[in-house]
Structure 1
Amino acid sequence: MKHLPRNVKTRSSRESLCGVDEADEPFGWDESYSVTPPPVAVSPTPSEPIAQTVPCSSGKSAMCGAVLLGIVIALLVTWVKVPRQEPAMTLGSWVHDLPQLASSTMVQVDSAQLNSLFRQRRADAALEHAGYASIPGGVLYTPESFRSSDGSYDLLIHFHGNVKVVVESAAVSKLNAAIAVVNLGVGSGPYQDAYATPGTYENLLAAIQSAVQRRGLENARLRRVALSAWSAGYGAISTILQQRRGEDPLDALLILDGIHTGYEQGRPGTLVERRLASFDEAAEAAASGELLFSVTYSEIDPPGYAGSRATAEHLLSVAEKRGEVKDSALAVPAYRKLESMRGAVAKEDVRKLEPYADQQVGSFRIRGYRGNTRGHHMAHLFQMGATVLPELAVRWDAYAGYAGRRDAVRSSAVRQRARGKQLVQHRQSPP
């Protein structure tokens, strides 16, 4: 009976594992083989002997493919390196040198090329950047500037303000983070009440985590959190600092022309400091370098309660307990002309920031800007991309692999109280 041709090996076409950016292009392919034994011939022709072939097992198919790839590369490299004036290599010499060529080439393939061919898929390969996801009280954006190769991500939660302005400001600041914007109403009351129930803030973080996963980030895990607020939004941060369980990696607080408190009854000009207790603890922690706390304030002096300048100066006096106050050289921030400002502010209310004070203790910083009108107040929001957000972006870029402390604010306060108790006991103890 005539000998039938055996089945041949087939290999799947190369497929790209993931889409990536221009700077990083991991790729690879899967080599699969369909190997079957040759059909049995009843009476093979003696003059046409059939060579026995041992097929690669499924467990060794990848190695077989790598060996074949190495041999092909070795043949090509050797062909290029052979000078034209030398005699061409004979078929016998090729066959004789194949084992040595394969052995030497496999080392190079294993150490250099195979690693790049089978690199791991980026966690953000399928991340959706367009549109937004709903979260309690607001929306979540994953802008084009947001990227994560391993699934870890930073998060900015902003309270009170035009959503598009906040998102665009983060983009122009080149902040690599997911952006959540929460708007709950007018005045600080709704923001304070919204997070007064213990666990509400943690539920917000859980909702954001789910939204990030739904938008396509694989192996998503929260790395650092920054809380920011403009005007009345400070009420949310005030309550969160009091009620949070300390499980989140809080790394930064950014307050834009906010933080207000009342005056003690019958004592004009004396702040009700107990309402600022949570911010006091944060200021001391920042002065010790445990987190970033950046505040901007205007010259607005509201009737009946303390404005942002009075509270900022109070916090500076608290931070001063932990270090020396340094006056920075005044620098006019670059004006950010945002596309999102169109329709969000009347032309007569557009203002540029004019600095008149810039003071710092450790990582606690306050900056004062001229003006006491509505336009000056709104400028703190519209220009956050020129003030506090670049500061945050620099911090997070400089420590890209650093995870925020689980309770930097509270742990600092606990250590302070412990030192205070030790000091009192020492003073009361007999000599």
Structure 2
Amino acid sequence: MKFWLIPVALLQITLPARGQQPDSLKPRPQNPSPMIENTRLHQRIPEQAYAGMQFEIATLLPRPVKVFLPENRRKARNFDLLVHFHGAGFPTQYAALHHRNALLTATIHLGSGSGVYGRAFEDSTIFPALLHVVHDSLQTQLANPITIKRIILSGFSAGYGAIRKILSTPQNYVRVDAILLLDGIHASYVPEYQVLAEGGEIQANELAAFVRFAREAAAENSSKKFLITHSEIFPGTFVSTTEATDFILQELDMKRRPVLEWGPLGMQQISESRQHHFAVLGFAGNTAPDHVDHLHALYFFVNELMK
């Protein structure tokens, strides 16, 4: 048997000073990662105007609410209403066209950051007023009485800020039948900016409304539905969608299970957790295209939520 002697100089390791951690262990903000990702397809739905009735409501919020009824549902008289926060109107139009039931959509895009969405619904009367105006406006357009059966709220990215604010008011909470969060549920670290790996904690009260809704949706006989989808993006300065979702699962004593499945538009699902009408679907990716995948897959996830 031969033994090889390796010069000690080649094994020399530079150790960090006492009390100092190696830089490689320090989490780096990604927000999302600037890396170019070429593995997944990142398919996109066509950005176009879809056939249907469209009008705007410009009296309640800083920017107009865009309402859409697909042409193939013009003769319907009973609708589910999807109120979507953050993003252009064409993904919600596409979702309405491909929904299994008659779906009316109202798209609200107010700009960047969850704060602009939360402040827009600081006045708790705005949300019921919005529902009332959408109903009456469509009824006038169709010249027939209509019924809005279920209220679905969806938020992509920063849009969760509006949903959190709406749920914080008891009279608005009870009006919401289903929630879809598309790679958008965050909170603050405590102390601020101190990530979990460095001993930070999650500001629990910022997720309390979602925990409550998830708990109710997870109950066997509940009529409420809740679906969260998330990527692997780690912002670094605030709680990631993965961390926020893990917090909710822990509060409900639910566990994730690993999966390897194709999702919509070439997305790659890597985890899930389900209990009755509450579900979490985790997807691979920490780049901007991975984030936008969730918005373009709105049509798929709304059907998944309401099945």
TM-score, with length taken from structure 2: 0.74
Specify whether residues 226 and 265 from structure 1 end up closer, same or farther in structure 2 by C-alpha distance, changes over 3 A only: same
Contact 1:202 1:244 in 2 (8 A): no
Q: What is aligned with 1:280? A: 211
Percent of aligned pairs with the same residue?
28
Alpha-carbon shift at residue 254 of structure 1 (Å) = 0.1
Q: CA deviation at 1:191?
A: 0.2
> What is the CA distance between 1:147 and its match in structure 2?
5.6
Cα distance in 2, alignment partners of residues 163 and 279 from structure 1? 25
1:383 paired residue among 277, 284, 297: 297
The offset of 1:221, in angstroms, is 2.4
Q: Deviations over 1:62-99 (max 9, x none)?
A: xxxxxxxxxxxxxxxxxxxxxxxxxxxxxxxxxxxxxx
Residue of structure 2 in register with 1:392 after alignment? 305
Question: One-letter code of the match for 2:246?
Answer: E
Provide the aligned C-alpha RMSD in A: 2.1
| Structure 1 residue identity aligned to 2:248 | L
Deviations 1:132-170 (A, max 9, x none): 111243111111343665x33211110001201221133
Residue 356 of structure 1, CA deviation: 0.7
SS at match of 2:202: coil
SS of alignment partner, residue 168 of structure 2: helix
Structure 2 partner of 1:319: 252
- Residue 127 of structure 2 is matched in structure 1 by 201
Q: Which residue of 2 aligns with 1:132?
A: 54
- Residues 51-70 of structure 1 deviation map (CA, whole Å, 9 limit, x = unaligned): xxxxxxxxxxxxxxxxxxxx
- Would the alpha carbon gap of residues 333 and 182 (structure 1) be closer, same or farther in structure 2, given more than 3 Å must change? same
1:392 positional shift: 3.3
- Deviation of the 1:334 alpha carbon: 3.6
Counterpart of 2:144 in structure 1 is: 218
- The CA deviation at 1:328 is 7.7
1:174 and 1:393 in contact (8 A); partners too: no
Q: Say yes or no: does 1:304 pair with 2:237.
A: yes
More strand by share: 2
Task: Write the letter of the residue equivalent to 2:67.
Answer: L
Match of 2:284 in 1: 370
Report the AA paired with residue 138 of structure 1: V
Match of 2:191 among 258, 265, 284: 265
Deviation at 1:390, TM superposition (A): 1.8
Is 1:357 the equivalent of 2:274?
no
1:330–1:358: 8 Å Cα contact kept in structure 2?
Answer: no
Letter in 2 for 1:265: P
1:29-68 residue pairs with structure 2 within 5 A?
none
Q: Distance in 2 between matches of 1:191 and 1:280?
A: 19
Counterpart of 2:70 in structure 1 is 143
Q: Any idea what SS the aligned residue of 2:177 has?
A: strand
Q: Deviations along 1:355-397, whole A, 9 cap, x unmatched?
A: 11011122111111111111111111012223x1121342xxx
Q: How many residues align?
A: 245
Partner residue in 2 for 1:332: 262
CA 1:243 to 1:187, structure 2 compared with 1: closer, same or farther past 3 Å? same
Compute the TM-score of the two structures, normalised by the length of structure 1: 0.53
Q: Which residue of 1 aligns with 2:80?
A: 154
Note if contact 1:325-1:361 (Cα within 8 Å) is conserved in structure 2.
no
Give the aligned partner of residue 115 of structure 2: 189
1:284-321 deviation digits (Å, cap 9, x = unpaired): 0111142110001111100211111101111112233x
Change beyond 3 A, Cα 1:331–1:215: farther
- Please tell me whether the aligned partners of residues 158 and 180 of structure 1 are also in contact (alpha carbons under 8 angstroms): yes
- Aligned-partner residue type, residue 154 of structure 2: S
Q: Paired residue for 2:39? A: none
Amino acid at match of 1:392: L
Contact 2:230 2:241 in 1 (8 A): yes
User: Which protein is richer in helix relative to its size?
Assistant: 1
Question: Cα offset for 1:244?
Answer: 5.2
**Aligned residue for 2:225?**
292
The correspondence for 2:157, drawn from 231, 236, 245, is 231
Q: Which has the higher contact order (CA 8 A, sep 6+)?
A: 2
Q: 1: CA distance between counterparts of 2:143 and 2:81?
A: 13
* Residues 393 and 171 of structure 1: CA distance in aligned 2, closer, same or farther (over 3 Å): farther
Q: Is the 8 A contact 1:156 1:226 kept in 2?
A: yes
Deviations 1:198-237 (A, max 9, x none): 2111111111112211220522222110000100000000
